[in-house]
Amino acid sequence: MLDFKSAVSSLAMIGPYYQKLLEKLSIRTIGELLYHAPFRYDNYSLVSKIAGIQVGETVSVEGKITDFKNIFTRSGKKLQKAKLADETGEISLIWFNQTYLASIMHPGTEISVAGQVKFYERKPAFLVPQYEIIATNRDHIHTAGLIPVYPETAGLTSKWLRTKISILFKRFNLEIPEFLPPEILEANNLPPLKKAMSDVHFPKTLKDAQNALRRLAFEELLIAQLASLIRKKKWIKLKSAKKIEPASDKIRTFINKLPFRLTGAQEKVLEEIFEDVKAERPMNRLLSGDVGSGKTIVAVICMYAAHLSGLKSVLLAPTEILAKQHFISVKNFLVPYGLKVGFLSGKEKEGSIDDSVVIGTHALLYNFAPPADLGLVIIDEQHRFGVEQRAAMRFKGKYPHILSMTATPIPHTIALTLYSDLNLSHLDQMPKDRLPVKTYVVPPQKREAAYQWVIKKIKSSRKDKLQQVFVLCPFIEPSESLGSVKSAKAEYKRLKNEVFQGLNLGLLHGRLKSEEKSAVLRKFKNKEIEILVATPIVEVGIDFPDATIILIEAADRFGLAQLHQLRGRVGRGNIQSYCLLFSDSTQQKALDRLSALTRYSIGQKIAEYDLKLRGPGEFFGTVQHGNWGLKFADFRDLALIKTTRTEALNLFNKDHSLSSFPLLREKVLPYTIKSVSLD
């Protein structure tokens, strides 16, 4: 009998090839396949006879193939044309470059097709419709209903996924045990898990799909909050940290010699951190601060304080670019005070792992044996690391003080939900010499004028202090399905040869080798590059004070929080900086959303605006999904967050170890710190 833990290879026709493709979607087990939920549903519920359909309708039709031809057009394309007939009439079906259909669409084959009816050769036709051969049981999974559309990867389509998931429900007595207590299901009007799983993949109505997704969101938030409560309880009991006793006179001297003054918020945060690290219980604090609010110098001062107490520090960053940027900054601050700073990534090593401070990527989690005198671990952009990755720094009885940092605006509700095991500090002030970045939404008709303005800015600044420019594109290569969206490689060539002739351009993206990325950034820093065309790889950690202009292509494709992060790549000096949001969208809602960035410069305000603009209850297409480890839940659904918080507290207060709820405990356990027992 199959269950959630069975390997996906247990299903027929899933060999090594498809297993590798499924792994790209993080699907290795039957359970992970079932939890791979659709991001939208195509509504093909309207079923009609051929004589009754009208051009423009989205409809499903059943009939028999009466004719099929592979046609080669003058332009060299391969066109497949079939005739579908029922008792009321006949209609054409058109596909492109799908010659294999000749082996399927034999005359007499009974099929169901679905799609929008359009004109072809002046007659109604289906262009590239969904289709399925009608089996003896006449069950439909690709047409004639609400059809799930899944996140895909190359070689793995939604149709393939639907077929495999359908087999699970139809041919196997799949065991889907309920793990939520019945009183919780009843009190919150939630469907049982087995029904939710069926309805999320094959709903009869949109209401069924919404109820199923609400159930999955509920359990996801409940598990996250229970795990957080357990982590906090166990953390409070720990008394194995090495105390950091900041020598106040030396710390004050260090601060006074900085080339800038700390803000009041930075002083307050340092007091909170120093109070934590004096205790035997390890600190577990999240430092949230807007782009450019000064989190890095807070981290540097904490590392210096650890050094004064005879302890070592580790700084962990999610990307090599960000880690390298930290390495350069930290060395500049701490080497003059006698500290040695090392660097470790998957491909590069500098200095020694026994240095006072070691900075690196996730490679530190696996290729680094923590020294006995490790006192402080700092995790930057901590939401990009999973719980188990963060926990990997705490093993063999070592529990250093943990300071997590993030520049992503976190609404209070999500902080309470996902970070209730952490103490929270917030940098809500910007340095006095920081000027807000002036932001403009640039429509297509003003694009050329914007380019000329950029050229003028660069040329006029060459005599004094060069003002550099970022050009951000969503993709590395051109996309076949989104041909109008700019890609970094193509845009680099176009701008270099047609728009910014005579200026020095560079290209940066994630497929470049580590040494190539370093070379590009070095040239940009040395002013050998005036305009850097890049992908969102520069979202965090790139700090160039002379970069004063950023152009963001297809800005409507980014979330507001990400746009705010990207905007933070400029305005890091004391020169007025600018952000130009290019968009070809004609949708007023998208343009209104972008205009919020022209009014707000504080990330928290932007997050609050986004919350109001989108509202709770948007089940599909949530841009923020994945950023916080949430797959189903929407942190803007304040009512659901509050409800699950109450239920989690009730369960936890009844039984701290959840031993009375063994199936629920099994779900929660992977999200707690594995090196700390639940019991």
pLDDT at 674: 45
What are the Cα distances from residue 201, in Å, to 39, 158, 173?
11, 11, 17
Residue 548 has pLDDT above 50, yes or no: yes
For the chain, domains (ranges, CATH) are: 1-41+150-175 (no CATH), 46-144 (2.40.50.140), 240-427 (3.40.50.300), 438-600 (3.40.50.300)
Helix (H, G, I), strand (E, B) or coil at 187: helix
Quote the pLDDT of residue 625.
36
What integer pLDDT is reported at residue 385 of this predicted model?
54
- Spatial strand order in the sheet of 312-316: 349-350, 341-344, 357-360, 312-316, 374-380, 401-406, 284-289, 423-427
Query: Over 50: is that where the pLDDT of 679 sits?
Result: no
Greatest mean pLDDT among 167-181, 230-244, 662-676: 167-181
**pLDDT greater than 50 at residue 615:** no
Amino acid of residue 613:
L
Q: At 412, is the pLDDT very low, low, confident or very high (cuts 50, 70, 90)? A: low
pLDDT, residue 626, reads: 38
Least confident of 351-360, 392-401, 504-513, 514-523: 392-401
Q: How do beta strands 357-360 and 341-344 pair?
A: parallel
Predicted pLDDT at 37: 93
Nearest to 484, CA basis, from 593, 623, 590, 583: 583
Give yes or no for residue 307 having a pLDDT over 70. Answer: yes
Contact 175, 2 (CB under 8 A): yes
Q: Which of 237-251, 267-281, 637-651 has the highest mean pLDDT?
A: 267-281
Residue 395's pLDDT is what?
A: 47
Helix (H) or strand (E) run with residue 275 in it: helix 264-277
CA 226/CA 218 separation, integer angstroms: 12
Question: For residue 452, how many C-alpha atoms fall within 13 Å in the half-sphere facing its CB?
Answer: 4
pLDDT band at 616 (very low <50, low <70, confident <90, very high): very low
Classify residue 466 by its DSSP letter: P
Beta-carbon contacts of 296 under 8 Å, excluding residues fewer than 6 positions away, are 326, 329, 330
Task: Return the closest-CA partner of residue 552 out of 450, 437, 470.
Answer: 470
Among 228-237, 276-285, 635-644, name the most confident range: 276-285
Rounded Cα gap, residues 491 and 508, in angstroms: 12
Instruction: Tell me how long the chain is.
Output: 679
Q: Which residues pair with 65 in a beta bridge?
A: 84
User: Which has the closest alpha carbon to 575: 534, 536, 544?
Assistant: 544
Provide the pLDDT confidence category of residue 531 given band limits of 50, 70 and 90: very high
Is the pLDDT score of 426 beyond 90? no
Rounded (5°) CA angle 643-645-646: 65
pLDDT of 196: 96
The pLDDT assigned to 677 comes to 36
Amino acid at 620: F
* Average pLDDT for the chain: 85
Q: What is the dihedral of CA 47, 48, 53, 58, to 10 degrees?
A: 0
Q: Are 144 and 113 in contact (CB under 8 A)?
A: no
Confidence grade of residue 579 (pLDDT, cut at 50, 70, 90): very high
Express the helix, strand and coil content of the chain in percent, nearest 5 each: 40, 20, 40
**374-400 pLDDT, tens per residue?**
899 998 875 555 554 455 455 445 678
pLDDT exceeds cutoff 70 at 417: no
CA distance 503 to 531: 8
What SS3 string covers 484-545?
Answer: CCCEHHHHHHHHHHHHCCCCCEEEECCCCCHHHHHHHHHHHHCCCCCEEEECHHHCCCCCCC
pLDDT mean over 549-566: 87
Residue 482: pLDDT over 60: no
More confident call, 299 vs 229? 299
Q: Quick check: helix, strand or coil at residue 117?
A: strand
Is the pLDDT confidence value at 614 over 80? no
pLDDT of the residue at 552: 95
For 238-264, the three-class secondary structure string (H helix, E strand, C coil) is CCCCCCCCCCHHHHHHHHHCCCCCCCH
- 155 backbone dihedrals φ, ψ, rounded to 5°: 95, -5
pLDDT of res. 445? 93
- Percentage with pLDDT > 70 across the chain: 89
The answer for residues whose C-beta is within 8 angstroms of residue 467's C-beta and 6 or more apart is 457, 458, 461, 546, 547, 548, 549, 575
Per-residue model confidence (pLDDT) at position 635: 66
d(CA 265, CA 430): 9
More confident residue, 192 or 414: 192
Q: Which residue has the higher pLDDT, 420 or 142?
A: 142
Helix (H, G, I), strand (E, B) or coil at 280: coil
Structure confidence at residue 451 as a pLDDT band (50, 70, 90): very high
Q: How confident is the model at residue 433 (pLDDT cuts 50, 70, 90)?
A: confident
The predicted model gives 64-76 an average pLDDT of: 88
pLDDT of residue 396: 46
Higher pLDDT, 174 or 305: 305
Tokens of 674: 């594995």
Q: Where is pLDDT greater, at 450 or 75? A: 450
User: What is the structure's pLDDT at 511?
Assistant: 84
